[in-house]
């Protein structure tokens, strides 16, 4: 019995981790290039940040509910959960990447232009490397919130550690709830520490 | 026919945001010459430097560089033929001193060995021991050391023209004097044309082969330092007055 519980914790933790990593990969792949484009376009920046802000305010359980009946992106299962989780992960990554790029010292950017760097060189050699600590900070926030929110995704059949919690609530079984909540919390703490360490390592100053 | 000037500014005007910043400026800078653009804040001297570098666009007139109009140059190539030094150096904080100095040679795809030799030569030339400073980051440098790195970086690809925008303005007086002297010594060994922006008349007279005095976006006069001391325009007198004022603490404060 105990070893069955342990192996279930292990496999659901892996499943949870998979959900989180896929979500973060997609969100970063969308948000970082978007931020690079938006850094140069003030008008578009307001609209996109506005949209991302609104997405952030939708309660996650409600969002899962909204997505369920939609064709293609909806339905029961992981795909719907990942789409919803991505919506929440976008904003912190987007905003932090923007902050990082726009936070590059004006004198540094000016001398990059004046020394004859092309726009592409300025982006890849100056702006993005200087923005890396800020981008990692965004990933860190996104990782921690995604680990937490992903437990709710079990309500729409996405699997992961939320399975214990949903089951525990239904059966009024506290140990079951803890079997999901404790590993999820531990995962969030580990992710937070690890990314903070990376963030510090990559800071130039 | 005189030798082609490194920079030839012809009837240049510039308006930024609807405000006329530069009006009908004509100025030639020959090889080996340091022309100091002297003027009050807002007189347009930094804008003139930016127009030469292609960071600002003239509304009338043109800039010729090495015998060709600037519009005929690829702006990226044009900028790599000019060394640019600004007030707080603008060093790249994520790169070492050596990486900063070697930037333009690397952009120009010099072989790494040649870049390394050039960096070592230049760090020595600006008075920074390569072994001690090459691997440091800008944050580990004093203001004066940063400025030295900035000058070495500007000289890196051996450009015919240097643009210096108040390079020593943020330094303490002693460091400033050291760097001014070093720059003069450097100028004797590397014959470059230079446009040097300052609002400090003392610095202008020390650094210039010619002083170009700007007033409200127009050239007031262009004279050698010796001639400038005898200049009689109102703006020149205003600058010279600040030079003559040698107030000492045991005297009465000057009456204004």
B110 versus A74: the higher-pLDDT residue is B110
Fold for domain A2-202?
A: MetI-like fold (1.10.3720)
Spans of all domains in chain A: 2-202
Instruction: Quote the ipTM score.
Output: 0.83
Are A115 and B84 a contacting pair, CB within 8 Å? yes
Q: Is the pLDDT of residue B73 over 60?
A: yes
User: pLDDT-derived band of residue B1, with 50, 70 and 90 as boundaries?
Assistant: very low
CB pairs under 8 A between A and B: 58
Distance CA(B232)–CA(B244), nearest Å, equals 15
Enumerate the residues of chain A whose CB falls inside 8 A of the CB of residue B91: 108, 111
A125 DSSP assignment: I
Q: Is the pLDDT of residue A205 over 80?
A: no
Q: What is the DSSP string of A69-122?
A: TSTTT-SSSHHHHHHHHHHHHHHHHHHHHHHHHHTS-HHHHHHHHHTT--HHHI
User: pLDDT-derived band of residue A10, with 50, 70 and 90 as boundaries?
Assistant: very high
B212-215 long-range CB contacts below 8 Å, 24 or more apart?
B212/B27, B212/B35, B212/B36, B212/B37, B212/B38, B213/B38, B213/B39, B213/B239, B214/B37, B214/B38, B214/B39, B214/B43, B214/B44, B214/B45, B214/B48, B215/B39, B215/B40, B215/B43
Q: Is the pLDDT of residue B253 over 80?
A: no
Are B10 and B68 a contacting pair, CB within 8 Å? no
User: pLDDT-derived band of residue B140, with 50, 70 and 90 as boundaries?
Assistant: very high
Average pLDDT, integer, range B137-165: 93
Q: Is the pLDDT of residue B227 over 70?
A: yes
Distance CA(A6)–CA(B11), nearest Å, equals 83
Res B250: pLDDT: 66
Enumerate the residues of chain A whose CB falls inside 8 A of the CB of residue B82: 114
CB atoms within 10 A of CB A31: 28
Res A184: pLDDT: 95
Are A113 and B55 a contacting pair, CB within 8 Å? yes
Q: Where are the alpha helices (DSSP H) in B11-93?
A: 45-53, 75-80
Enumerate the residues of chain A whose CB falls inside 8 A of the CB of residue B93: 105, 108, 130, 204-205
Asked if the C-beta of A108 comes within 8 angstroms of chain B's C-beta atoms, the answer is yes
Q: Is the pLDDT of residue B119 over 70?
A: yes
Average pLDDT, integer, range B44-60: 91
Q: Is the pLDDT of residue B212 over 90?
A: yes
Q: Say which range, A90-94, A146-150, B38-42, B242-246, has the weakest mean pLDDT.
A: B242-246
Res B254: pLDDT: 58
Average pLDDT, integer, range A200-204: 80
Percent of residues, chain B, with pLDDT higher than 70: 94
SS3 B180: helix
Tens digit of pLDDT for each residue in A21-37? 999 999 999 999 999 99
Beta carbons of A105 and B55 less than 8 Å apart: no
Percent of residues, chain A, with pLDDT higher than 70: 99
Give every CB contact of residue B229 below 8 A, 6+ residues apart in sequence: B205, B240
User: pLDDT-derived band of residue A64, with 50, 70 and 90 as boundaries?
Assistant: confident
Q: What is the mean pLDDT of chain B?
A: 89
Closest CA to A150 of A95, A56, A86, A195: A86
């Amino acid at each position: 019995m105990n070893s069955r519980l342990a192996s279930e914790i292990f496999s659901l933790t892996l499943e949870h981790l998979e959900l989180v990593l896929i979500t973060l990969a997609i969100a970063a792949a969308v948000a970082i290039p978007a931020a690079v484009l938006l850094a140069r376009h003030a008008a578009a920046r307001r609209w996109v940040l506005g949209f991302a802000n609104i997405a952030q305010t939708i309660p996650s359980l409600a969002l899962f509910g909204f997505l369920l009946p939609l064709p293609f992106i909806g339905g029961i299962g992981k795909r719907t959960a990942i789409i919803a989780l991505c919506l929440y992960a976008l904003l912190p990554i987007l905003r932090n990447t923007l902050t990082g790029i726009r936070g590059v010292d004006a004198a540094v950017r000016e001398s990059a232009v004046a020394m004859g760097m092309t726009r592409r060189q300025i982006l890849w050699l100056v702006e993005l490397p200087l923005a890396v600590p800020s981008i990692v900070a965004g990933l860190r926030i996104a990782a921690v919130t995604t680990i937490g929110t992903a437990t709710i995704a079990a309500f729409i059949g996405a699997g992961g550690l939320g399975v214990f919690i949903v089951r525990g609530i239904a059966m009024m079984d506290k140990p079951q709830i803890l079997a999901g909540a404790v590993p999820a919390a531990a995962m969030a703490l580990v992710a937070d520490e690890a990314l903070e360490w990376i963030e510090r390592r990559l800071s130039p100053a | 026919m005189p030798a082609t000037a490194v920079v030839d500014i012809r009837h240049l005007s510039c308006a930024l945001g609807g405000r006329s910043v530069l009006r009908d400026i004509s100025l030639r800078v020959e090889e080996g010459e340091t022309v100091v653009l002297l003027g009050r804040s807002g007189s347009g001297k930094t804008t003139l430097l930016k127009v030469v570098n292609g960071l600002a666009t003239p509304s009338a007139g043109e800039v010729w560089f090495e015998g060709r109009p600037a519009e005929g140059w690829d702006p990226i190539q044009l900028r790599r033929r000019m060394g640019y030094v600004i007030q707080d150096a603008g060093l790249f904080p994520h790169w070492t001193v050596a990486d900063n100095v070697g930037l333009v040679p690397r952009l120009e795809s010099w072989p790494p060995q040649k870049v390394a030799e050039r960096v070592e030569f230049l760090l020595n030339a600006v008075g920074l021991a390569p072994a001690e400073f090459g691997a440091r980051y800008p944050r580990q440098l004093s203001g004066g050391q940063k400025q030295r790195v900035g000058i070495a970086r500007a000289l890196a690809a051996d450009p015919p023209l240097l643009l210096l925008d108040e390079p020593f303005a943020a330094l303490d007086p002693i460091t400033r004097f050291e760097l001014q002297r070093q720059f003069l010594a450097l100028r004797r060994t590397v014959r470059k044309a230079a446009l040097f922006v300052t609002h400090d008349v003392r610095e202008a007279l020390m650094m210039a082969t010619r002083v170009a005095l700007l007033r409200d976006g127009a050239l007031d006069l262009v004279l050698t330092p010796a001639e400038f001391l005898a200049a009689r325009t109102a703006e020149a007198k205003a600058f010279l007055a600040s030079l003559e004022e040698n107030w000492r603490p045991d005297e009465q404060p000057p009456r204004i």
